[in-house]
Amino acid sequence: MVNANIRLVATPWWVNLAPLVPLGSYLVWRTRGLRFSARQLAYAAIFAVTFGVNEAAVVVYLRAAGGLLADTATQEQVLAQLPQILIATEICREGATLVMLCAVSLLAVTPGRERWALFLWMFAFWDIFYYVGVGLIIRWPPSVLMQDVLFLIPTPWIAPVWFPVLVSVLAIAAVLLANRQHSSTATE
């Protein structure tokens, strides 16, 4: 049980552990490094960026369906306005998104650690460019301090916008650092 006096960034409480995923992954990868070419990382990033913009368009449609295109409407307000069928559809879409990112990782590389790294790499770019997309399309969020619904699976994850962006930046840095370490030790 989490102490009620501790102020957490995200809810549920375990979402606050998200920064440990890229940090812990880096600690595992740094001993042997990662073996990505610049081309592999670039193509994976391109896929993820375009996927993030596509996701932004979906969220704009959801906000329009809830009558909440104003830049001050929170994602929680949007969810409260949506019919249950659209929420169920959104949960299915989120699951499909994760499966797609996994499938690309499985197709692109063979060692398990590289698959995990590529999944995190794409997830990070997808997440950042989702926010870039909604920002460009509807000027949302007006501040990185605004609360957002990050996921609905298995329950709504809620945090300020800066939190998932931070986790994504950490994931990108972890992959780049572990990959660079491999490149520098391979040339020595």
pLDDT greater than 80 at residue 71: no
pLDDT greater than 50 at residue 110: yes
Report the distance separating Cα 80 and Cα 86, nearest Å.
11
Report the distance separating Cα 174 and Cα 44, nearest Å.
16
Instruction: Please state which of the ranges 82-86, 98-102, 114-118 shows the lowest mean pLDDT.
Output: 82-86
3-state secondary structure of 60: helix
pLDDT greater than 80 at residue 174: yes
Q: What is the pLDDT of residues 72-83, one digit of tens each?
A: 666 777 777 778
Which tokens in the block code for residue 147? 């609360």
Q: What is the pLDDT of residues 88-104, one digit of tens each?
A: 988 999 999 999 999 99
Residue 117: name the closest of 15, 29, 7, 20 by CA: 29
Distances (CA, A) of 31 to 21, 34, 184: 17, 9, 13
pLDDT greater than 70 at residue 171: yes
| pLDDT score recorded for residue 185 | 47
Report the distance separating Cα 172 and Cα 49, nearest Å.
13
pLDDT greater than 50 at residue 186: no
Of the pLDDT bands very low, low, confident and very high (cuts 50, 70, 90), residue 182 is low
Q: Has this prediction a pTM greater than 0.95?
A: no
Report which of residues 188 and 71 the model is more confident about.
71
Mean pLDDT taken over the chain? 88
42, burial (CB in 10 Å: exposed 0-12, middle 13-18, buried 19+): exposed
Q: Do 94 and 151 touch, CB atoms closer than 8 A?
A: yes
